Structure 1
Amino acid sequence: MSSVSEGRIPDSAVRSVTRGPSRAVLRADDGTWIEAVYDPCTADDGTDTAFVVAHGFTGSVDRPAVRRAVRTFSRRAAVVTFSFRGHGRSGGLSTVGDREVLDLAAAVAWARSLGHRRVVTVGFSMGGSVVLRHGALYADRAADGGGRGSDGNVAEHVGRTGARTGAHADAVVSVSAPARWYYRGTAPMRRLHWMVTRPAGRLVGRYGFRTRIHHDEWDPVPLSPVEAAALIAPAPLLIVHGDRDPYFPLDHPRMLAAAAGDAADLWLERGMGHAENAADETLLTRIADWAVER
């Protein structure tokens, strides 16, 4: 699957927000339409922070686990959720973490257009790898004077352009993310690779999981999560991973934390499984507290 430059994010189709949840259609820089939902903070003393939540592979804005995260996070700040391309009611086809960085950038820019001066990205599984790569590619010029470089898929001006349009994150939370691409060391990941790479698997994805998957391989291969983690500073980074994750063993979060160095906090959660489905209200509350206090 060939890549495109990641630059200016056009305005969303929604200009105003009520006190209740509001739906919008955003357009990523490559023209893909992305469904998004805004939930205002439910606390009277809410901050000007907004969380932007990036779901895992086969998820969407309306999945129960995503809505549980919204209910918890909205007690501390406003929340933007969206469906990655190929998921839910969004257009396009899933590229399993490559062009999805464009979708996240559009959602972050929308959050800022609604008046939120500080945005924290929170990603789960595939979304966790996307927030890492987004954090590396979209820089805050005020923080470090420019973009943080690029991977093989992105022109060097992308970080700078993303910063000018407010598409950068002020803090990053990655939950249950892989450290490296093409990992097949567990049975769930071998099944996932079959679904992504085989025609029969993509049919299962479309009709069994409501996920439309691109048939092309990555070309070029995007920046890996572990490489991205090293480029996120000075923005704060939180890495969360369960010790019973059936997809990615603990060497993945440890590699990410080692790459990020002192800029990252690492939480290894006892008894936790994988991604948003395994994140209970207690953990989500701790994540929200960390994010708001940074």
Structure 2
Amino acid sequence: MTRTRATTIGFMAVLLWALLALFTVGSAPTPPLLLNTLCFGIGGSVGLIWAWVTGSFSQMRQVPLRVYTFGAVGLFAYHLLYFTALRLAPAAEAGLIAYLWPLLIVVFSGLLPSERLRTGHVIGAVLGFSGAALIITGGGTGLSGDYFAGYLLALLAAFTWAAYSVLSRLVGTAPTASVAVFCLATSALSLPLHLMFEETVFPATALGWASIVGLGIGPVGLAFYVWDIGCKQGDIQLLGTSSYAAPLLSTLALIVAGFSAPSMTLLWAALLITGGALIAARASFLSN
């Protein structure tokens, strides 16, 4: 597979992740750990079908346990943080903060062998974090205590997913189908924790169940398999910077669906985060 084709396949995940916030909001009031259990159970099933179609079962048996542990912990931690953040804070604002991960991928990738961090990457990071700070401080009027916990968790989610994506390059020998095991392990880990710490609350409407199924098939299912291909075989810096289509599309989807209202703070934050991504993207193109 060529580097360009792998990058294009990886970008399919960005389009799917643009629906992550919308489906997460639609799945309310299902608590985060239960949502992890259900969605990753579906996502893991998608992976088993992927393995069957590609004939990857024999390769999956050769993957070291440390790789499966790495993948399961990464998926579990990120989505627990993300789902909880969107339960504790406004979806569009928390989603934008969480979508700092593409820029963080570019910055972190500069630490990889054969990759180079340029000045444009640093400037882009500063602009992106300025956009996040604008949201957290409520447009410069001071810290918003009501939603601060949600915003903080969204920021931690961004760091978690960026670190997971970049470090996956270091375990590049694992077949993409092994992501199915990551998903099923995440589901299995989430269930007992849910039973210990959460009240079981299922969606009360067909829309809620459709949102959970949609999460499991798309943003928490197929997206991981195509992203894995992109990160391991594609241009990781270009993939990270082009991922900034996701926060804009995600925010627009929430507004169109009526889950979020447009505001100047949201607009300026989106412009800062996107502007930072464009500067970082230019730096990536110059380094290629």
Which of the two has greater strand per residue?
1
Q: Which has the higher contact order (CA 8 A, sep 6+)?
A: 2
Which of the two has greater helix per residue?
2
TM-score by length of 1: 0.27
**Higher Rg of the two aligned structures:** 2
TM-score by length of 2: 0.27
